Amino acid sequence: MRPGLLLALLPAAAWALHPLETPQASLEAVTLIGAPVSAPTPIAAPDVALPTGQSAILVIIIDDLGNQLKEGRQTVSLPGKISIAVLPHTPHGAQLAKEAHRSGKDVLLHAPMSTLDQRPLGPGGLTAELSEAEFRTTLGAALASVPHVQGVNNHMGSDLTRHTEPMRWLMAELSARQLYFVDSRTNKNTVAAAAAATAGLPHLSRQVFLDNVAEPAAIAERFRAAVDQARQQGSAVVIGHPYPATIAFLQDVLPQLEEQGIHLATVSEVLALH
């Protein structure tokens, strides 16, 4: 897509778009340490009749990469400009990040953050109990574990993203490293985007979760909702996971988007960071 067209389609304040709220417990139940509790065996992806309307931009981020090589590589090989979020200190995270970078995709650190129900975070977890020095050291080590990292989004985080001071530390560290932030919005009371704005940090916020129900029909319904919102507001940010049903759906639908006026863009393209 031509850079001029991307800028023409992008709203002046893309990060202020209203999200389609997703229940907190439902999200974190399926994203624990990068794997769903129970991912059903996918069937053939249904035909998807997308909402019609004006041209729009869709940002798709696939979270939770790093623990499973097969699903990670299937994600990296998805067609088009998607972004991937890699968990820190995982067996395959560095390799997948390098492969994604070579294929022109954005690479984010999927930073584990504390939850209201105290779910285990795995390596690199950030909590409100850490001192500022501990917080910055943990974050720095996590960033160092993901090559070619361009930004950060939160893995879980229904607790931590409510706390102003840790979010201020986070945005200061990202600003110093010239990275961006995407608020996954796992809690409607998140202050993460506000902290990023205060710090002058480039940022976006999630509008739609694609696969809280990892079944083809449910994924198709959420994708239609994302396209509808993008057509209404100029763009939308979608987050999904490397579930078999999600990968199969995206393999089928992504090649059809451009001809229907839906333009895929990476996070950095939308934020004009390069």
The domains of the chain are located at 3-9+20-32+51-270
- Per-residue pLDDT reduced to its tens digit, 175-207: 999 999 999 999 999 999 999 999 999 999 999
- Per-residue pLDDT reduced to its tens digit, 31-79: 333 333 334 444 454 566 787 889 999 999 999 999 999 999 999 999 9
- CA angle, residues 74, 79, 84, in degrees to nearest 5: 60
- Per-residue pLDDT reduced to its tens digit, 131-182: 999 999 999 999 999 999 999 999 999 999 999 999 999 999 999 999 999 9
Superfamily of domain 3-9+20-32+51-270: Glycoside hydrolase/deacetylase (3.20.20.370)
Q: What is the pTM (predicted TM-score) of this model?
A: 0.85
